[in-house]
Amino acid sequence: MKHLSIFPSLSVTTLAAFFLPCSFLPAIDLDGDRMSDIWQAHYGIATGQTDDLDGDGLDNIQESIAGTDPHDPNSSHHLTLSKIDSSNLELSWWGHPNKNYHLLSSSNLQQWEPYSQKTGTGAQISTQLSTDHTKQFFTLKIMEQPDLDGDGFSPYEEWLLGTPENEEQEIHLGCTITSSSQFNSSNWAPTNLIDQSLSTNWSSINHETNENATEWLTLDFCENKNINYLELYPRTSSAGVALGFPSDFEVETSSDGIHWFMVAGYKNFSPPTQAQWVNIPLTRTVTARYVRFSARKLGTDLQGNHFFQLAEVRAGYTKNLLPSNPSRRANSLWKSYI
């Protein structure tokens, strides 16, 4: 864990921010040294996993994960805090192209909650903070994007090589969203699912012991889009436990909001156990304005009550579907609703 900066009290909030590289296996690592071979070739690093050539406190493995220049101490992810007004602060850092940045927050350095998720574009990244906490800490996890075109190179490695990762990839966030129900608070509105924040959530009403209640979400893109997968991010507890994720569900699409066609259905789906995006491949690529996700068997909260709950939802199209993850795939494709 590398502490980059600690901020004194600003208004009523004391914040600390530090960089925490996330452990991962690079896409291309033929010598097994946990450093990307493409990154090593780009920066001329042959060996020396624990070397810190520029004296910035990060060794070569950490620099490889972060995508930073191991020869330049100014190439880093220092978190910078600035005051916008009496009620709002801004936390910013440099975002390398094709790296995912997960900002987590904590009040005690023990339990961490997702705060926001950003993708680097080669420019400064910022996120707004409120000063309604007496003490708050932030950690930045840096993650590799998946190899969408299946050529064995991560999107970041493609960027270093100067080759396109996937020219036929689209992500659709939706312009509006509606739900079958909403828990009795404005804090659980369905619009939280398309606000690009992992710290806000939507929840259905409490079905208590009835796990077989039906709840649905309809995503509207305001125009027809090419779609062949959905991605859902579960609501998570303060300890990072995924909650309220259904195990039986179906996905339908429509171009007019009247005529619907089933494009995926799953029964006994293995729900996520932690905070992570869940990829739902469709059976084919469709062109549609609307996507409806209907939960048929609900998940539970920490008290065992049955809900349908999520933090974010989005759809997309890629030339090559994401590699299937056995732990995220259903035990059987469910077609009983056709």
Identify whether residues 12 and 159 lie together within a single domain.
Answer: yes
Question: Tokens 């896409």 appear where?
Answer: 27
In a shared domain, residues 180 and 325? yes
Same domain as 109, residue 222: no
**Which residues, 6+ apart, have CB-to-CB distance to 335 below 8 Å?**
262, 265
Same domain (yes/no): 176, 153? no
Let me know whether 206 and 274 are in one domain: yes
Measuring CA to CA, how many Å separate 37 from each of 40, 49, 58, 210, 295? 5, 12, 18, 52, 43
Would 338 be classed as within a structural domain? Answer: no
162 and 94 co-located in one domain = yes
Token pair of 281, please? 């491949």
What is the number of domains present in the chain? 2
Give the tens place of pLDDT for each residue, 78-114.
Answer: 788 888 877 778 888 888 888 888 888 888 888 888 8
Nearest partner of 164 among 174, 156, 172, judged by Cα: 156
Establish if 141 belongs to a structural domain.
Answer: yes
Low-confidence ranges of the chain (pLDDT < 50): 1-23, 322-338
> Rounded distance, CA 292 to CA 301, Å?
23
Helix (H, G, I), strand (E, B) or coil at 284: strand
Task: Return the residue matching tokens 């966030």.
Answer: 173
Residues 217, 287, single domain; the answer is yes
In a domain, residue 307? The reply is: yes
Whether residues 216 and 141 fall in one domain? no
Q: How far is CA 168 from CA 62, 64, 226, 227, 231, in A?
A: 31, 27, 10, 12, 17
Q: What percent of the chain has pLDDT over 70?
A: 80
Question: Nearest CA to 5 among 55, 57, 68, 53?
Answer: 57
For the chain, report the end-to-end CA distance as a whole number of angstroms.
51
Owning domain of residue 239: 170-333
Residue 179 confidence (pLDDT) = 97
259-295 burial: b if 16+ Cβ within 10 Å, else e: ebebbbbbbebbbbeebebbbbbbeeebebbbbbbbb
Cα gap 266→167, rounded to integer Å: 30
> What CATH code is carried by the domain that includes residue 283?
2.60.120.260
Tokens representing 320? Answer: 């090559």
Task: Give the end of a domain, one of 139, 167, 195.
Answer: 167
Same domain, 184 and 39: no
Predicted pLDDT of residue 323: 37
Residue 280 corresponds to which amino acid? I
- Under a CB-based contact definition with an 8 Å cutoff, are residues 1 and 18 in contact? yes
Tell whether 177 and 161 lie within a shared domain: no
Report the b/e string of 110-130 with b at 16+ CB within 10 A.
Answer: eebbbbbbbebeeeebbbebe
The residue from 167, 198, 232 where one domain ends is 167
210 assigned to some structural domain: yes
pTM of the predicted model as reported, rounded to 2 decimal places: 0.51
pLDDT tens string 286-301: 899 999 999 999 999 9
Q: Tokens in use for 220? A: 């509207």
Interatomic CA distance for residues 269 and 250, integer angstroms: 11
C-alpha 316/C-alpha 320 separation (Å) is 11
Residue after which a domain boundary falls, among 167, 190, 216 = 167
Tell me, yes or no, whether 219 lies in a domain.
yes
DSSP structure string for 76-97: S---EEEE-SSSEEEEEEEE-T
Are residues 179 and 115 part of one domain?
Answer: no
Burial class (CB in 10 A: 0-12, 13-18, 19+), 338: exposed
| Pairwise CA distance, residues 266 & 330, whole Å | 6
Q: Count the Cβ atoms, other than its own, within 10 Å of residue 72.
A: 13
Residues 6+ apart with CB under 8 A from 337: 250, 262, 265
Asked whether the beta carbons of 213 and 298 are under 8 A apart, the reply is yes
* 209 burial via Cβ count (<10 Å: 0-12, 13-18, 19+): exposed
Q: Are residue 224 and residue 322 in the same domain, yes or no?
A: yes
